[in-house]
Structure 1
Amino acid sequence: MADNALGRFVRARREATTPPTRERRRTPGLRRGELADRAGISVEYLTRLERGTDRSPSGQVLTSLADALDLTADERIHLYRLIKADSTCEPPSPPQLRPTVLKTLEALEPTAACVLSPAGDVLASTAQFHKISGLGAEQNTVRFAFSSEAKAHYPDWDQIANHRAASLRAAADLGDHTAAALAFELSITAGAAFADRYHSSASLPPTTGTERWGPHVLVFDTLYVPGDGEHRLMLYFSQH
């Protein structure tokens, strides 16, 4: 991360945060000790973050700092981007689906159907799925579930948010690095709405059931695609 951008951002937000008392101070905003107390971390660790000697904070630490600094949704996204910018890893290539899987999707039209990666990425879908899913340009069902648009799209948002978080937790626990990276991202950008569900998830997400997307009441089923990718073929049928 060039020029310690994360540390500078945290310090700038700390100094811009109104302190708990109105006493006259030599420096603006919160003292390091006050922010550290709010975030539940040590002053020494906060000092290392601000000075750039520690540039790999956990998602839990960043979420605590974001909450303590009362960051907006846009500021949380910026905080995550600062961490992401420090990564030197090349993004993985998108998996290639077998032609027979793509042909299956074509044959399913006009049913709403998609193939998902363990982390919830939409690898391919039918036109009907794209039409009613609400995802738009977003290509990850978990990230969309914790976006500002999702609550308006899902009448039963709490249920779906629980299921999506549980699905991501299951994939991350099985060693899927993309799922773990997305969990790190959402713990910062979506905050407690995601993190509480993710960390308290004690069951696997359902493979069948009913969901409401906008005006659509859909019965869904899950079929696992043979192969190494652990991909899921999701089928959604209108309930009449």
Structure 2
Amino acid sequence: MGTPLGDFVRAKRDSIQPGTLGLPDRGRRRSPGLRRLDLATRAGVSVEYLTRIEQGRDRNPSVAVVNALADALSLDPAERGHLRYLAKITGGECVAHNRPAAPSREVRPSVLRTLRLLEPGLALVTNRLGDLLAHTDAFESVTSGTGLLDGDAPNLTRYVFTDPRARTFFADWEDVADEQAFDLWLGPSVENTEWFTAQLAPVAGPDFTRRLNRHVVPERGVLRLRHPAGPELRLDRETLELPADAQQLVVLLPADESTARAVDELRGHSLGRLRAIS
């Protein structure tokens, strides 16, 4: 049985063409990418040891080996961070022993007060599972009519993969889907992620499971939204981590003047309608 660490190393190895690392092309082979021998040589480990890591038979590589694999695969900083995280959870420091369950949806009062101070800006509190835990009224006005906030427990990840409206609302749906699947690896806990994945996979289908298992670190560029009222919005994202709560405070900022005007107009349509933060 594989492990997240082994799956990631194998996926990255398969995605690398030898020529990009200055290695000779050794002719046709059954699988694409870098050979185990080449990666093992670059990392300074044996082929047998690399095979055990990829197949999940060695779950506790040393920090030196993890760093050597990162160097051998020419990982960028985000990918290196992900590799270290996968080594941590594969090694058992985050192994689930409790019954999988949904995470708490409670937001600290001080975080809610901070959110209110951000009005009339676009801001929300979420977690890595995609739960939308609280938001400003302005955020609701910009997402109205999209279905994102429908129901008592809205969840961005579930919306992206199961609601057809998401493919229209997110102009770059493929990128957003990559982000949401990747973030599950950083969920509030392994237990929570197991619970959520088990709930979502049967209804989300291969679009979800393929992304979850390939460990592509997203770039997170400008967020482009197509609002039902007509305007396309281009938003920069600033994220403040709340590590004690395993939550994030996300602020969405207009990336250009036309977006700023469109957001003002959308907010104007909801003036006079009071709504407490969820």
In the superposition, the TM-score normalised over structure 2's length comes to 0.48
Distance 2:113 2:186 in 1: 29
Change (3 A) 1:238 1:184: same
Task: Tell me the amino acid that sits aligned with residue 141 of structure 1.
Answer: L
2:165 aligned with 1:149: yes
- Shift of the alpha carbon at 1:112? 0.9
Shift of 1:93: 7.2
Q: Please name the residue that 2:81 is paired with.
A: none
* Cα pair 1:119 1:176 within 8 Å, conserved: no
Q: Does 1:213 align with 2:206?
A: no
Distance change (3 Å), C-alpha of 1:239 and 1:196: same
2:123 equivalent in structure 1: 113
C-alpha distance 186-96 of structure 1, shift in aligned 2 (>3 A): closer
Q: Is the 8 A contact 1:142 1:165 kept in 2?
A: yes
CA distance in 2 between counterparts of 1:163 and 1:226 reads 19
1:176 Cα offset (Å): 3.4
Paired with 1:96 and 1:185, the residues of 2 have a C-alpha distance of 21
1:128 matched to 2:145? The reply is no
**C-alpha root-mean-square deviation of aligned residues, in Å?**
2.2
- Tell me the equivalent position of 2:155: 140
Percent identity among equivalent residues? 27
Query: Contact 2:124–2:250 (CA<8 Å) still a contact in 1?
Result: yes
Matched, 1:197 2:214: no
Does the 8 A contact of 1:209 with 1:221 survive in 2? Answer: no
CA drift of 1:120 comes to 1.4
- Name the CA distance, whole Å, in 1 between partners of 2:234 and 2:123: 14
Name the CA distance, whole Å, in 1 between partners of 2:209 and 2:120. 36
How far apart are residue 186 of structure 1 and its match?
2.3
* 1:165-180 aligned within 5 A: 165-171=181-187, 175-180=189-194
Q: Deviations over 1:191-226 (max 9, x none)?
A: 1111111111243x45x6311111211100111125
Counterpart amino acid of residue 161 in structure 1: A
Does the C-alpha gap of structure 1 residues 226 and 91 become closer, same or farther in structure 2, counting only changes over 3 Å? Answer: closer
Q: CA deviation at 1:96?
A: 2.6
Q: In the alignment, is the contact (CA less than 8 A) between 2:101 and 2:192 conserved in 1?
A: no
User: 1-side partners of 2:103 and 2:195: how far apart?
Assistant: 15
Cα distance 1:96–1:152, how it changes in 2: closer, same or farther (>3 A)? same
TM-score calculated relative to the size of structure 1: 0.56
AA aligned to 1:166 is F
Distance 1:156 1:101, change over 3 A: same
What SS class does the counterpart of residue 96 from structure 1 fall into?
coil
Query: Which whole-Å CA distance do the structure 1 matches of 2:202 and 2:156 have between them?
Result: 17
Report deviation, 1:91: 6.1
Summarize the Cα distance change of 1:217–1:100 in structure 2 as closer, same or farther, 3 Å threshold.
same
Which sections of structure 1, spanning at least 5 residues, go unmatched? 1-88
Checking the alignment, whether the CA contact within 8 Å between 1:118 and 1:231 is kept in structure 2 is yes
The number of aligned residues is: 147
CA shift in 2, pair 1:184/1:92, >3 Å? closer
Kept in 1, the 8 Å contact 2:100–2:195? The answer is no
Q: CA 1:122 to 1:131, structure 2 compared with 1: closer, same or farther past 3 Å? A: same
Task: Report Cα offsets for 1:99-134 as digits up to 9, x if no partner.
Answer: 211011101011111111231111111112122233
Does the 8 Å CA contact 1:142/1:168 hold for their aligned counterparts? no
Unmatched runs of 5 consecutive residues or more in structure 2: 1-98, 227-231, 257-278
Sort the Cα spacing of 1:179 and 1:235 in 2 relative to 1 into closer, same or farther, 3 A: same
